[in-house]
Amino acid sequence: MAGTMQAYRILEWGRPPEVVDVPIPEPGPGEVVVRVAGCGLCHSDLGMMQMPREVCESLGWQVPFTLGHETAGWVAALGAGVTSCAEGDPVAVVSPSSCGECSYCIRGQDNCCPKGLAGRGYGRDGGLAEFVRVSSPRGLIRLSGLDPRTAGTLTDAGATAFHGVRRVVPRITPGGVVVVIGAGGLGSFALQYLRHLTTAQVVVIDTDATRRAVAMELGAHNAIAQIGASTAETIRAMSAGGLGADAVLDFVGTDSTIAAGIAATRAGGAFALIGAAGGKLDAAWFDALPKDGEIFTFQGSTISDAHDVIRLAEAGAIRNDVETYTFDQVGQAYRDLEAGGLRGRAVVVLDDR
């Protein structure tokens, strides 16, 4: 395994990433090295490229590091003591990092692990390279049937959307209305989970006509373009008794989507803020918020979420739309992602090289 490989790395804060040669990682005791088949690109990568140095350093991130946190491939080398996987196993790499030992990890809330602030692709070496080192086999999910070149997106976009859906499911009643605001990468996964896990009427709100059409193809019952002061009324009119939505999942997160989403949530319903647009809600507790409602904020996903999503995909229950690029096109792939208009998640395939 000795030798060098190409990697797409942030070399210094505030400078565009570059393809450079780095040593192929060797697995230490308990570690696994994975040969990367493909790595999905995430909007948060674009944010990292411009993040102020102070923020990155406060998160414990170190430059240089290789980008990419939606990785899948094949086990290439095992560190001393690793017996739970074998060379050649096709695997997806869990996206968020966690220690496995703290009180959060023990409770299965590894998405809240304090050691997860830095991880593969954000402050540590990630998957936009020929090989990636994984600190423990608990970060690997064995694939049976899924193509490792494109399965990586399920571990981040797929799992984060799943976490949000899993949180709201207890508030969803048979035949109730569930609203998905934003039918991009995460929202289009969320609506598919809702169709499989509940009997709710799934209403998608997106200003983009193409995304609305795709949402209907993926199983949404309704797709509307309108978001604003009258949204709540529209949603109430669709719900039994005019009560409003059992749950609203906001994958956008602006002031207006939050206000409209909260207003559309029925008493006893749930509102999930997952989109990272940085919106705020100015609301008095009595009239503006749903009585006995549950409101929760973005918290990534757990290892168990990623396992469940991979199993749903293997069962053929969800569609994972991707647009593939070669490693030589990684810069272009990020430019396309930034420009918007991609039909599926951008994935850099390394195995074709």
Residue ranges in contact with Zn ion by CB under 5 A: 42, 44, 98-99, 102, 105, 113, 156
Nearer to Zn ion among residue 123 and residue 269 (C-beta): 123
CB of residue 97 vs Zn ion: minimum separation in angstroms? 9
- Of 277, 315, 300, 33, whose CA–CA distance to 156 is shortest? 300
Measured distance CA(334)–CA(339) in Å, rounded: 9
Of 112 and 281, which CB lies nearer to Zn ion in the complex structure? 112
Judged by beta carbon, residue 267 or residue 276, the one nearer Zn ion is 276
Q: Which is nearer to Zn ion, 47 or 170 (CB)?
A: 47
Q: CB nearer to Zn ion: give 59 or 240.
A: 59
Closer residue to Zn ion (CB): 42 or 194: 42
Q: Which runs of E-coded beta strand occur in the chain?
A: 4-10, 18-23, 32-40, 65-66, 71-78, 90-93, 119-120, 123-124, 131-134, 140-142, 177-181, 201-205, 222-224, 245-250, 265-273, 294-297, 322-326, 345-349
Q: How far is the CB of 184 from Zn ion (least distance, A)?
A: 12
Q: Minimum Å distance from CB 117 to Zn ion? A: 11
Task: Give CA–CA dist 131/144, Å, rounded.
Answer: 21
In whole angstroms, give the CA distance from residue 304 to residue 110. 9
Q: Minimum distance from CB of 259 to Zn ion (Å)?
A: 26
Element (H, E) at 44: helix 43-50
Nearest partner of 62 among 1, 129, 134, 119, judged by Cα: 119
**What distance lies between CA 199 and its chain's CA centroid?**
24
Q: How far is the CB of 103 from Zn ion (least distance, A)?
A: 8
Instruction: For residue 165, give both structure tokens.
Output: 């859906």
Q: Tokens 């373009």 belong to which residue?
A: 225
